[in-house]
Structures are given as C-alpha cells and as structure tokens.
Amino acid sequence: MLLRISSRVVWFTIQNTTSCSAEYSTSVIFNVNNLGSTASDVTVTLYNDAGNAISTPGRASGTTPGFALGTLYSIPGKQTIHYTAVFNASGGAACSDRPAYGKITIESDSGLLMANGQVTAYNTTNLYTYTSYSNVIINEGKPF
C-alpha cells in the first residue's frame, strides 16, 4: 500500500509595481533548490494582479533549462531549477502578466526545498540602467 501525504504549499508575494513599457522591462527570476538527496515533485504557479495564473514561458539560465509554470516538475536531489521571464511592451511577455504573487506546491513526501527570486526593472535600450531591484523572499529564506 502506497501512502501519499497531502501536498505542501508555500505562498509568497512579488513586488510588481516596476516600470513596464516599450522603454522599460521587468525581469523576474526564480530558483528552486532541492537540498535533499532524493527527487522532489513540485509545481510553481505565478499569478498576475487580477489573480489569474500566468503561463509565460521561462527561459533557460546558463546551461540549465527553464521550467514551465503550472507544470509538475521533478527536481533531482541536490539540484536546482530556474525560471526567468522578461515583461515589456516591445517583444517580451505582456506587462499585464507581471506576477504579483505565487505558490510552490510540493507534491511528494521527499525533498527539502529552498527557493528565492528577484525582480529587476531596467531601461530596455540601455541594459545597465537599472531603475529598481527587489528580492522575492520565500518562506523567510528557510528550507521547507
């Protein structure tokens, strides 16, 4: 008989009042780390101001592929998954889809997770002109 514990959910808020237009972009980055030695199944869901789940595709970070929002993903033990998305009015994801809050749902009884993120706003024509930066603190920075 296989017993399955109910899923654990960690909610968090995201500062999303950054500039977002053809001239200014907002970059959203998340890392989810599995500190345990066995795989853990997780789903990351982000919501916009209207409370709608967003499906903006995540881009790869370095050599690590980005994960898809709202999709169950198995994180191998001692590994990290990444999500990066850019929101603007000139080719990026829609400004109206900038996430305002989110949740991480752990669907397995294994794994010890930790997660964090950041939101950065910058001038699209001059990538070195940052207008704001904010950390996304998840579970007070503690493992869950």
What is the secondary structure of 32-45 as a DSSP string?
EEE-SSS-EEEEEE
Q: Is 81:73 a contact under the CB 8 Å cutoff?
A: yes
Q: What is the pLDDT of residues 63-72, one digit of tens each?
A: 566 788 999 9
Instruction: Tell me the residue type at 5.
Output: I
**pTM to 2 decimals?**
0.85
Q: Can you give the pLDDT at residue 34?
A: 95
Residue-by-residue pLDDT tens, the chain, 144 positions? 444 455 799 999 998 888 888 888 888 999 999 999 999 999 999 999 999 999 988 776 565 667 889 999 999 999 999 999 889 877 788 899 999 999 999 998 877 999 999 998 888 777 666 677 788 999 988 999
Pick the CATH number of 8-141 from 2.60.40, 3.30.930, 1.10.10, 2.60.290: 2.60.290
Q: Can you give the pLDDT at residue 3?
A: 46
Q: What is the pLDDT of residues 41-80, one digit of tens each?
A: 999 999 999 999 999 887 765 656 678 899 999 999 999 9
